[in-house]
Amino acid sequence: MPKIIQSTDLPTIAAIAVRFIAILLVFSILSSITYEFYKALNWEQTGYQEIPNAWYPMTTDWRLTWGYDIPQAIIASILWLAPRPIARRCITRATPNTCPHCDYPKDNLKTNQCPECGQPWNTKDQPMNKNTLDNAEVFTLTATALRLLAVYFFALALVHIGENLIASIGYNFNPMETLQNIWSYFFADLNGNFEWSIWRYLLPKLTIAITLWLFNKRIARWIIPNSP
């Protein structure tokens, strides 16, 4: 079976994917900036005067207006400038002759049942695994892609944390007000007001990221279709 991708090319491809994640974050920033300028250019004074002028949200109230964009810009810069170190951490190599359920090595085993997890398989024929020698390249690429997705969700979680840290900055950079706001955003709402806590949005992103990162091999085997 011809190889789909040379293993020496994978670090470069993974690094390109990291930069694609950076580009996604940049597009999100551009979308936010466009929206803020659209609101400013179409701003009209109301009787309530919640916003005193068109540029108030983008200048005086910048902590809330740009709180999501500033962390995105920082993380996008890191992903763009250092894609290869991140990509190397994402690459998951195939281990062909292992149990498809728990990765226990099959070498020199004569049993038809995994001694680690107890699941049945056959060692006499071709290893019953979705990362066998003939599709190890596909498995490696799929598992690596899952870790790259994990990087994306980690980035979203970090952006959300950064957003709330910036929103916590007190007016005139008052340190006491800043600490009180941080406590309010990150801890106080856990006591009965979880629906307003940042953890309501942060925990799902972290859960997805950690799951994709730690169980990328198992998920890859589930994703790859069985051979006809």
What length is written for the chain? Answer: 228
What secondary structure does DSSP assign to 114-181, as a single string? -TTT--B--SSSS--STT-GGGHHHHHHHHHHHHHHHHHHHHHHHHHHHHHHHHTPPGGG-HHHHHHH
Pair 106, 218 in one domain: no
Same-domain check for residues 138 and 126: no
Split into its structural domains, the chain has a count of 2
SS3 3: coil
Say if 228 falls within a structural domain: no
Largest Cα–Cα distance of the chain, in whole Å? Answer: 83
Look up the domain containing 207 and give its range: 7-96+131-223
Give, for all 228 residues of the chain, the pLDDT tens digit.
445 555 558 899 999 999 999 999 999 999 999 999 999 999 887 766 677 888 998 998 899 899 999 999 999 999 999 999 999 999 987 666 677 667 777 767 777 778 877 877 665 544 445 555 557 788 888 999 999 999 999 999 999 999 999 999 988 889 999 998 888 878 765 565 656 678 888 889 999 999 999 999 889 888 887 655
pLDDT of residue 117: 79
* Residue 207 maps to a domain: yes
Same domain? For 120 and 190 the reply is no
Q: Is residue 2 part of a domain?
A: no
Question: Is 1 inside any structural domain?
Answer: no
Q: For 164, list phi and psi in degrees, rounded to 5.
A: -75, -30
Structural domain contains residue 126? yes
**What are the tokens at 159?**
């952006």
Q: How far is the CA of 130 from the CAs of 104, 142, 144, 189, in angstroms? A: 14, 11, 15, 45
Q: Is 107 found in the same domain as 42?
A: no
